[in-house]
Structure 1
Amino acid sequence: MAGPTTAERGERQQELSGPPPVRRSKRPRLRRIVILAVATVLLGGGSVWLLYGSPWLRVERVSVSGTRVLTPAQVRSVAAVPVGAPLVSVDTDAIEARLRRKLPRIDTVDVVRSWPHGIGLKLTERTPVLVMEKGKDFIEVDDEGVRFATVPQAPKGVPVLELTVSRPGSAAASLRRFGVDGLVREAVQVAADIPAAVAHTTRTLKVRSYDDISLELSDGRTVAWGSADNGAAKARTLTALMKAAPDARHFDVTVPTAPASAGS
């Protein structure tokens, strides 16, 4: 019996291996890529136009919050926010730097975009804890020792800082070692540690040297404080000493463990 012919063997092999693969056209895939690319370009261009070229996302108002001594009008004038410009193009860092440079009364400032039409200027002002006399005016000093503003009248309840360090000896040595700024910071630290009941009546804070700081109260009583070290202990001691000797005119807490009072 004769075997299968060559043609029959080919047909048999095709039946076993299945139909030949169908080649898919690359054109539909290429068309989708082109459509996606065009859509991306159009979307990107539209976004750029919306942010920079459209009339809808532009600066129309500038709000100011946190002012106490400064006025919103002063802050807006210095900030110089470009009203009418695209909101996205406003340089908030430059505005913050300009406000800090031209208005040293500002302690912190945050410039924020308020979509779709606003810029917000959120700030806090420095608070004076001491003032220094300068002719007929007063220089305000904050709790970091920063001299930030000159005013014609001392704020109510803020002690006057007197630096009398021109004498020879330890005073001059303190001035050379710490400088005026360093001594002012020492005075600021003392002002922060004075008991609240005493702080309300403190009229003058005198600095003769680093370790010779004293207080003069509005009723004429005086307190020898010494250096700014151990401020919390000195505050507790002074409070107890004033209760124990209410008629005394002079209190010494330079060494808080060995306080003294005198006068009546």
Structure 2
Amino acid sequence: MRRPSAIPSPAPPVEPERPAGARPFDGARRRVAGFGIDASAGSEADALPAAGEDANTTAPIPLDRGAPPVPSSTRERAEEQDPAETQGDGPLTARDLWQATRARRRALRTEIRRFTQRSRRRRIGWIVGAALALLVVGGSVGAAYSPLFAVETVTVEGTSALKAVDVQKALSGQVGRPLALVDSSAVKAALVAFPLIETYRLEAHPPHDLVVRIVERTPVGVLQSGDGRFTVVDAAGVVLSTTDARPAGYALIDVAGGTGSKAFAAVGTALRSLPAELRGQVDGATASTPDDIVLKLSGGAQVVWGSAEQSALKTRSLQALMKVNPSAASYDVSSPGVGIVG
């Protein structure tokens, strides 16, 4: 049998013509499937198969075994993705843009509500507090001016010489009025008719009581008029009453110039500084000037008072002298630090 002859080698491939000046395989890149790595042809020798190699065989390509870099942020990962993967198979539509805009606005509103939650709570608290305050004030004012707090009882306190019943009758016109609407001018006009009242104060005691606190004038002596009648006066010279006979327990005041003079004011101050028990023992008081007050006791003793200054201290000095020397004919307290018994 005849031995077969060797298979002739294939003819070398014919290199296609390329433009003048162009480098072989310039810019040619191959993608390795599955790894995303491009290999560039370095030279014609690297690209062509070596002698004796099959033209259909691909030369080994070196691979970088290092792990691909990991993006540092979500934004970078999104930027490195293939546009076809992020945008889908087709282009964006108007509906896609509308949905994206709506989602963005919804997220923005959520963030705004989250950041302004504290201020909104504070604002709601202020509004609720102000509403409650207005409700309380409005309710209080409305109740005060309503018939629910009308005057039903007038109580008079502080009277001794004056009858409380007479004052209550004079103020009966205030009964039925709301406590907040009591007419102070009408009350003053009604109380002026009582000369014994020196000062007064109104107090509203809800729900129905009106209290009148009165300070009466203090009678200090009597003045005898030209017709022989006697007038009871206080330290300011206000006439409290007039009688035909001299009332007991009051000093007969004899001063120059009448109740409007400085001498009378000094005598009134001196008599008012005395306690009620000691004032009742004074039978007369005379003064020609504000500095020469003389008191006459019912037992016949005479008290040199001097001026009205330091009247409280002079009163204590006189009480001490009378306690030590009750039967003395005279007492000089014009200098209260040095009392003299005569």
Question: TM-score category by the smaller chain?
Answer: 0.5 to 0.7
Any idea what SS the aligned residue of 1:190 has? helix
Deviation sequence 1:69-128 (CA, Å, 0-9, x none):
22223212333542222333223x325533553333223322122212221112221222
Residues 111 and 121 of structure 1 are in contact (CA less than 8 Å); yes or no, is this contact kept in structure 2?
A: yes
Match of 2:260 among 177, 180, 184: 180
Amino acid at match of 1:159: A
Residues 58 and 86 of structure 1 are in contact (CA less than 8 Å); yes or no, is this contact kept in structure 2?
A: yes
Specify the alignment match of 1:20 in structure 2. Answer: 107
Alignment partner of 1:206 is 2:297? no
Counterpart-to-counterpart distance in 2, 1:245 and 1:127: 27
Taking every aligned residue pair, what percent have the same amino acid on both sides?
24
Shift of 1:149: 1.2
Shift of 1:203: 0.3
Match of 1:130 among 199, 206, 221: 221
Counterpart-to-counterpart distance in 2, 1:260 and 1:96: 51
Aligned length: 231
Counterpart-to-counterpart distance in 1, 2:302 and 2:238: 26
Any idea what SS the aligned residue of 1:56 has? helix
Alignment partner of 1:70 is 2:70? no
Counterpart-to-counterpart distance in 2, 1:114 and 1:148: 33
Change (3 A) 1:79 1:236: same
Counterpart-to-counterpart distance in 1, 2:274 and 2:238: 20
Shift of 1:259: 4.3
Counterpart-to-counterpart distance in 2, 1:124 and 1:148: 16
Q: In terms of Rg, which structure is larger? A: 2
Counterpart-to-counterpart distance in 2, 1:246 and 1:229: 26
Specify the alignment match of 2:200 in structure 1. Answer: 109
Task: Within 5 Å, give how 1:9-158 maps onto structure 2.
Answer: 20-21=107-108, 50-53=143-146, 55-91=147-183, 93-95=184-186, 97-98=188-189, 101-134=192-225, 135-142=228-235, 145-152=236-243, 156-158=248-250
Specify the alignment match of 2:327 in structure 1. Answer: 246
Counterpart-to-counterpart distance in 2, 1:77 and 1:64: 11
Change (3 A) 1:119 1:162: same
Any idea what SS the aligned residue of 2:288 has? strand
Counterpart-to-counterpart distance in 1, 2:133 and 2:160: 50
Change (3 A) 1:238 1:8: closer
Counterpart-to-counterpart distance in 1, 2:288 and 2:219: 21
Match of 2:270 among 187, 190, 200: 190
Counterpart-to-counterpart distance in 2, 1:211 and 1:39: 66
Counterpart-to-counterpart distance in 2, 1:119 and 1:20: 66
Any idea what SS the aligned residue of 1:150 has? strand
Amino acid at match of 2:193: K
Counterpart-to-counterpart distance in 2, 1:49 and 1:157: 54
Counterpart-to-counterpart distance in 2, 1:58 and 1:200: 45
Specify the alignment match of 2:56 in structure 1. Answer: none
Change (3 A) 1:9 1:159: farther
Change (3 A) 1:70 1:154: farther
Amino acid at match of 1:160: L
Match of 1:221 among 301, 307, 310: 301
Counterpart-to-counterpart distance in 1, 2:280 and 2:165: 33
Amino acid at match of 2:293: I
Which of 1 and 2 has higher RCO (CA within 8 Å, sep 6+)? 1
Deviation sequence 1:164-185 (CA, Å, 0-9, x none):
x26xxxxxxxx9xxx8342222
Q: Which moved more, 1:109-118 or 1:231-240?
A: 231-240
